[in-house]
Chain A
Amino acid sequence: MEAADHVRLRRVMPSSTNAETTTRWVCESCGFVYDPERGDPDGGIPPGTAFEDIPDNWSCPMCGARKRDFVPAI
């Protein structure tokens, strides 16, 4: 696949806020994208919560994978 067409998810670059707050994280197991802007209200994570601030016992709302199964979106 050509670089321009490469289908990997792109990193959301931080603008004026810090990188931790705006970086999206992807579940390696199912592809769910954690977006700090949305948070995970059903899982007790309010909108605006950086991934790093989520408790370690939180799990993916789509497939149930653990927090450590997430990687930063690239």
Chain B
Amino acid sequence: MHEHIDLSSLEFWARPYEDRERAFRWLRDHEPVSWHRPPEPLAPGLENARGFWAIVRYEDIKEISRNAKVFSSAEGVFLDDFPQLETILSFIVMDDPRHLQLRNITQAAFSPRNIRRMEQQIDAMATRIVDEVAPLGDGDLCELVFKQLPGLVFAEVFVGIKDVRRRKVLIDGAEQLGAWADPTYAHIGPPLAVFQDAAQRIMTIAYEEADRCRREPDDNLMSWVVQAQFEGQRMTDAEMGAFFTLLVGASNDTSRHAMAHAVLNLQRHPDQKALLREDFDGRIDSAVEELQRWSPPLMHFRRTALRDVELHGVSIKAGDKVVLWYCSGNRDERAFLEPDRFDILRSPNRHLSFGNGPHYCLGAALGRQMIKSILRQFTNRMPDLEVGEPTMLLSNFMNGVLSLKGSWRQRTTSACAG
């Protein structure tokens, strides 16, 4: 039995990633479906009433993700009970048909085709950021780079916000949204108040920008969203506000952590870093996939069974929480050859870091592009970059890097930027 593995304890999530992976491997081999007590709350005042099933094998995660008729997202998507948070999670916490309608309104803007058209624009933003950072010689890359690029892309490209102060409100709001349980924000109030405060400020900007885009439509996502229809359906104002908040949180937070992990993992695997440098353009696509597999920014999403189901001889009852551990599926020996080997040339590499099925990450292509753009800058302009040990977020959901200090030889020109 799995009693020695307690996914509900905060102590488990405070352990290093590779230690936790050893526990997941045991579960994959011995108890692919295991029951766990209600998770310990992340902060005082947050209570969890219900336990959950842990799904840890690749194929099971994939199949459950694809079957939204049996495994619903509408009852919540976190291991923890956060009904207050989920009210602003837009179509992540919906099932079809409304999920599909809302998603399809925005799908084209985030499609790999559209993101390819934005490649030069995102590269230029990464160049601008590194222009300011390269002369410094050292600093916290999370603060200086990884937090800045997603914020800039989202605010400028997707919403069309030119005003620097408003852009800062969005970037800061996104950070607060992701770190709502962090003591840094305790002065605002208890964790849920911290989250709601950030959501409120972001929604205020959303409504104002929506008004502006209705009056003066431009070539940006917000103008698209306020006008777009799918099968005769538009977003309501409340849905639009929630969607906007979701995008701010999702696009900023997950991307910044993914970029931090990318830099860290390349440093931890110097042979792979050298391999990438040898042929950056030829290897960056597969490298990004392996970086995602190795350190998924989100470690789980949850579903709720809508009817009784049996899986590996275990009876899952209607109403039970079913938690899909992507971090475990990505290391499943049944799906990946030598899963514990970090290999930037791995192919195929159908990892689960962006989920699977109807809720596959809408921003996957954008996330991939931002990682590529920032790694290109670092490879070309800060090749001697060295980072220290990261400060990690304590979370069972976000594989978050709070701080990653680095040093590099000071440079003042972007002339060599590729």
Binding partners A and B: yes
Q: Is B356's beta carbon under 8 Å from chain A? A: yes
Whether the Cβ atoms of B360 and A30 lie closer than 8 Å is yes
Which segment of B63-71, B170-178, B293-301 sits at the interface? B63-71
Listed stretches A4-12, A16-24, A48-56; interface member:
A4-12
Of all chain B residues, which has the CB nearest A29? B350
Say whether A59 contacts B112, CB under 8 Å. Answer: yes
The docked-state distance in angstroms from the alpha carbon of A26 to that of B350 is 13
Q: Specify which chain B residues have a CB less than 8 angstroms from the CB of A31 in the assembled complex.
A: 62, 65-66, 356-358, 360
- Docked CA distance A9–B62 (Å): 11
Report A's interface with B, CB cutoff 8 A. Answer: 1-2, 5, 7-9, 26, 28-32, 42-43, 59-64, 69
Q: Are B111 and A62 in contact (CB under 8 A)?
A: yes
Given A30-B354, A31-B357, decide whether A63 and B112 contact each other with a Cβ distance below 8 A.
yes
Tell me the smallest distance from the CB of A4 to a CB of chain B, in Å: 9
| Chain B residues, Cβ within 8 Å of A59 | 112-113
30 sampled A-B residue pairs with Cβ under 8 A: A1-B309, A1-B311, A2-B309, A5-B70, A5-B309, A5-B310, A7-B63, A7-B67, A7-B70, A7-B309, A8-B63, A8-B66, A30-B357, A30-B360, A31-B62, A31-B65, A32-B360, A42-B113, A59-B112, A59-B113, A60-B112, A61-B107, A61-B111, A61-B112, A61-B113, A62-B107, A63-B112, A63-B354, A63-B360, A64-B112
Given A42-B111, A59-B113, 8 extra CB contacts under 8 A: A1-B310, A28-B350, A43-B113, A62-B107, A62-B360, A63-B360, A64-B365, A69-B348
CA A64 to CA B63, docked complex, whole Å: 20
Chain A residues closer than 8 Å to B111, beta-carbon distance: 42, 61-62
**Is there contact, CB below 8 Å, between A63 and B358?**
no
Chain A residue at minimal CB-CB distance from B112: A64
Q: CB-nearest residue of chain A relative to B103?
A: A62
Determine how close the nearest CB of chain A comes to the CB of B115; give it in whole angstroms.
8
Q: Which 10 A-B pairs give the minimum distances between C-beta atoms?
A: A64-B112, A7-B67, A31-B357, A31-B356, A7-B63, A30-B360, A1-B311, A5-B309, A2-B310, A31-B66
Residues of B within 8 A of A9 (CB): 66-67
Q: Return B58 CB to nearest CB of chain A, in Å.
A: 12
Q: Name B's A-contacting residues (CB within 8 A).
A: 62-67, 70-71, 107-108, 111-113, 309-312, 348, 350, 354, 356-358, 360, 364-365
Instruction: Please name all residues of chain B whose beta carbon is closer than 8 Å to the beta carbon of A8 when the two chains form the complex.
Output: 63, 66
| Contact between B70 and A30, CB atoms less than 8 A apart | no
How far is the CB of A54 from the nearest CB of chain B, in Å? Answer: 14
In the assembled complex, the Cα of A2 lies from the Cα of B312 at a distance in Å of 9
Q: Are B364 and A63 touching (Cβ within 8 A)? A: yes
Which residues of A have CB within 8 Å of B365? 63-64
> Once the chains bind, are A7 and B360 in contact (CB under 8 Å)?
no
Chain A residues closer than 8 Å to B312, beta-carbon distance:
1
B220 CB to closest chain A CB, in angstroms? 18
In whole angstroms, what is the CA distance A62 to B66 when docked? 14
Residue numbers in A under 8 Å from B65 (CB-CB): 31
State A17–B17 Cα separation when bound (angstroms). 52
Report the minimum CB–CB distance from A72 to chain B (whole Å). Answer: 14
> Bound state CA distance, A59 and B111, in angstroms?
10
CB distance from A65 to the nearest CB of B (A): 9
B67 partner residues in chain A, CB cutoff 8 A: 7, 9
| A40 vs chain B, min Cβ distance (A) | 10
Smallest beta-carbon distance A32→chain B, Å: 7
Chain A positions within 8 Å of B112 at CB level: 59-64
Given contacts A42-B108, A62-B111, contact A7 B64 (CB under 8 A): yes
Q: How far is the CA of A5 from the CA of B365 in the complex (A)?
A: 33
> B63: nearest residue on chain A (CB-CB)?
A7
Measured in the bound complex, the distance between the Cα atoms of B11 and A42 in whole Å is: 47
List the A residue with the shortest CB-CB distance to B116. Answer: A64
Which residues of chain A are near B66, meaning CB under 8 Å?
A: 7-9, 26, 31
